[in-house]
Amino acid sequence: MVALSDTILKHLENNGAYVEALFADIVKAFDSLDHNVVVEEARAMGARPFVVRMLASFLFERSQCVQLPDHEPSEFVNIFCGSPQGTKLGPLSFLIVFNRILTTIRERFKFADDLTVLSLRLSPPTTEQSDLIKIYHDLKAELGKVKLAVSETKSSYMTFSFLKGNNHSSHNSILPTKKTVKILGILLDDDLRWNSHVDYLTKKGASLLHSFSNLKRFGTPTEVLKSVYCSYVRPSLEYACPAWHPGLTKDQTDRLETIQKRAVKIILGQNYSTYEDALKQLNLDSLDSRRHGLTYRFGLNCLNSPAHCRLLPNFASPPTGGPVTRLRQIKNNCPQLLTCSAYSTERYRKSFVPYFTRHFNNIDATNI
């Protein structure tokens, strides 16, 4: 999600730039996975023969039956498709097939069965159909070859542009055009301002607090209430925060902080005086402070990861000397400061890469 938003925002730094996005939904992706296709794709990608045989043994000759309450089970029937749930080889079997889809497209972002494809343009499309329509037809054709299908009703099309009057849905006559999509649990607006996601989080937090307040009525001890809040309510307000925390406005930050203010009032009851005092009593940090820490630690993990360090500037590989975990070691192994390309829009400045770069460069390793 961080890579997706960074790609969009970085491209929109260009004057008149325009981004089209295809959010593809696969029809019953894991349930429709053909076992023969998995084995053939594993063989085609160069898997060793004993690995192919092991995968075939895992998938083939499976059967299932159905049993309703107070009824005898049905007869067992052999199944020839579907990825077994609850196993490590199940998702891997799906990825063997799905990772070979649209490999020629550079701007594609995948997580499990979620696929997002971008078309980066320096001006709005002037032809009758957008670039993504052709990509969409290619996607349908490639999925058909492996006996999968894309859902035309659940897949969607979105345009991103900082130009006034961002409305080019007429170029797309197949997919539904949306202003907001939910991807990996995050609501993404076409203006990249995170209003819909903050609305979603505040409503969800308020709903969780309603159930949480019932515990107080039953005389639940303060420490137990705090534990429940920290493990049940707060994580929902911090999910995937590196993707969206840097772009929050003060008003959005205050709205999210209100959820924790209500929570500590419930926990302390009559002992509550002020929010700052309540945080000290319960030994809690503000949500804004926690999200900053989580975002910064995510950046350090990226810096130390061969797979994800490319998100950050100046590093094509992890710091010298092998993997490191402490910030002092990272700064000593990477004495040069991270450099971020110049930005011309406030929305890109308030995104993850510039945000992390600024804070990383401002930390003195000698004081850690």
Query: Average of pLDDT values for 248-266?
Result: 95
pLDDT at site 315: 45
Q: In the predicted model, is pLDDT for residue 230 greater than 50?
A: yes
Exposed, middle or buried: residue 79 (CB in 10 Å: 0-12, 13-18, 19+)? middle
User: Which strand ranges, in their side-by-side order, compose the sheet holding 18-24?
Assistant: 108-111, 114-121, 18-24, 156-160
Structure confidence at residue 321 as a pLDDT band (50, 70, 90): low
Measured CA angle at 204 (ends 200, 206), to 5 deg? 120
Exposed, middle or buried: residue 275 (CB in 10 Å: 0-12, 13-18, 19+)? middle
For 93-151, write each residue's pLDDT tens digit.
Answer: 888 998 888 888 888 898 888 889 998 887 765 555 567 888 888 999 999 999 999 88
* % of the chain with per-residue pLDDT over 70: 86
Do 97 and 146 touch, CB atoms closer than 8 A?
Answer: yes
State phi, psi for 330 to the nearest 5 degrees.
Answer: -60, -45
For 57-96, write each residue's pLDDT tens digit.
Answer: 988 988 889 999 989 999 999 888 888 888 888 888 888 9
How far apart CA 268 and CA 283 sit, in angstroms, is: 13
DSSP per residue over 244-301, as a string? HGGG--HHHHHHHHHHHHHHHHHHHGGG---HHHHHHHHT---HHHHHHHHHHHHHHH
Q: What is the pTM of this model?
A: 0.83
Tell me the HSE value of 113 on the side-chain side, using a 13 A CA sphere: 20
- Structure-model confidence comparison of residues 246 and 170, the more confident one: 246
Q: In the predicted model, is pLDDT for residue 365 greater than 70?
A: no
Locate the DSSP E strands across the chain: 18-24, 62-64, 77-79, 108-111, 114-121, 156-160, 180-183, 186-189
**Three-state SS across 336-352?**
CCCCCCCCCCHHHHCCH
Identify residue 112 by its one-letter amino acid code: A
Measured CA angle at 241 (ends 363, 368), to 5 deg? 20
Do 240 and 183 touch, CB atoms closer than 8 A?
Answer: no
Query: Average of pLDDT values for 264-285?
Result: 93
Q: In the predicted model, is pLDDT for residue 261 greater than 90?
A: yes
